[in-house]
Structure 1
Amino acid sequence: MKAMLLTALLISQTVFAADFSVRSTDIKADTPMSAKQEFNGFGCSGANLSPQLQWQNAPAGTKSFAITVFDPDAPTGSGWWHWNVVNIPASTTSVATGSVPKGALETRTDYGAAGFGGACPPAGDPAHRYIHTIWALDIEQLPLDAQTSGALVGYMLNQHKLGTAQLIATYQRKK
């Protein structure tokens, strides 16, 4: 009887465990982003501010986090990396608008420089998707520097991933 009760208790804890999730006060799922998150350059004139993000219920064993923003709809054949932030301390659970957590490292985006590069899809394109991903990692520090490409960041994140939480917003450039 005790074994059956213990089993039922363990199953209920597993069933009701909260999922790793991310939310934002700046962007909403499946909703167009504002000009605050639009790039300022390449014909775009937004504020180029990274969005506020907050996450919860990270997987057990998380030693650090990373943030990526990726546009799979960019007409490049390989998408477009808009933001790569690694080595975020495990004690961090949010990032404010236009900021980077203390101790974190921003790496090169497809704009050619480290730091946030907002949405700027080609004029006339349909809305693009912007996948904001929080990565829970099994390592405190990834051996990367500010010049590391988005592709290498993605590879390293997948090698150390415990879990991910995503928020997908959209953006369409005004003509």
Structure 2
Amino acid sequence: MKLQVRGIEEGQPIPEKFAFGVFSEQDHMSFGRNRNPEITWEDAPEGTKSFVVMMFDPDVPSVADDVNQEGKTVSADLPRVDFFHWLLVDIPASVHRIPEGEDSDGVTPKGKAFGPGPIGIRGVNNYTQFLAGNPDMVGTYAGYDGPCPPWNDEIIHHYHYEVHALDVESLGLDGEFDGNAVREAMAGHVLDSARVTGTYTLNPELRES
């Protein structure tokens, strides 16, 4: 299969309009336009009955104690974990495009609804956990919410946009399912996959390098 993420070239920085957080000299970070990019895919294998779209960051600190803390840095040596930013399942086999801004157009405080969305069924992304301690933002975040890595992280983060062709029409997921649930449900049903990876950082030292 072939996947195109419009505006994002393989291995290159992700444009700010697709980000949840953008660089700010005054406050380190301010909200971005948080639009999902347009994605298109082709050459799905014979027998494809549905698609899964996901985007995740494998570079998220496993321990958040120093994240976004003045006078501290998130060490490059810290073990990293996956952070899911976008989960859409049960996308019909007839669909090969998600328009820009279709699943997200701006930061939505307290999150967007899970379940059936504009295209497919929305899973719950990890902003649900990350913002749980923020009284102005706490909520269930579903669908697309873009990059917002720690502004004091020593490494540049990578964001994998993926599409998976499946041999089933539905993964049978409902409610507040997350990225791990999607991966478990997909196991044994993936006919083919494609990926585009972009990068992003809010660390001014890395942005200038």
TM superposition score normalised by structure 1: 0.82
Aligned positions of 1:42-57 closer than 5 A: 43-57=29-43
- Structure 2 residue corresponding to 1:31, chosen from 6, 12, 24: 12
Q: Identify unmatched segments of 5+ residues in structure 2.
A: 23-27, 63-79, 104-116, 129-140, 205-209
Q: What SS is found at the alignment partner of 2:127?
A: coil
- Structure 1 residue aligned with 2:83: 80
Pairwise CA RMSD = 1.9
Q: Distance in 1 between matches of 2:125 and 2:45?
A: 27
Q: Identify unmatched segments of 5+ residues in structure 1.
A: 1-19
Q: Distance in 2 between matches of 1:159 and 1:134?
A: 15
- Structure 2 residue aligned with 1:128: 157
Aligned positions of 1:20-169 closer than 5 A: 20-40=1-21, 43-76=29-62, 77-100=80-103, 102-112=118-128, 113-125=141-153, 126-169=155-198
Show CA shifts across 1:98-143 (max 9, x none).
Answer: 2147551011000112121110110132221100000000100111
Larger Rg: 1
CA contact (8 A) 2:55 2:162 kept: yes
CA contact (8 A) 1:107 1:147 kept: yes
- Structure 1 residue aligned with 2:112: none
CA contact (8 A) 2:102 2:118 kept: no
CA contact (8 A) 1:105 1:146 kept: no
Aligned residues: 156
TM superposition score normalised by structure 2: 0.69
Show CA shifts across 1:33-58 (max 9, x none).
Answer: 11111115994421111111010101
Greater helix fraction, Structure 1 or Structure 2? 1
CA contact (8 A) 2:29 2:202 kept: no
Residue 108 of structure 1 aligns with an amino acid whose one-letter code is V
- Residue 158 of structure 1 and its aligned partner are, at CA, apart by 2.7
- Structure 1 residue aligned with 2:201: 172
Residue 123 of structure 1 aligns with an amino acid whose one-letter code is W
Moved more, 114-123 or 151-160: 151-160
- Residue 174 of structure 1 and its aligned partner are, at CA, apart by 4.7
Q: What SS is found at the alignment partner of 1:72?
A: strand
Q: Distance in 2 between matches of 1:29 and 1:96?
A: 19
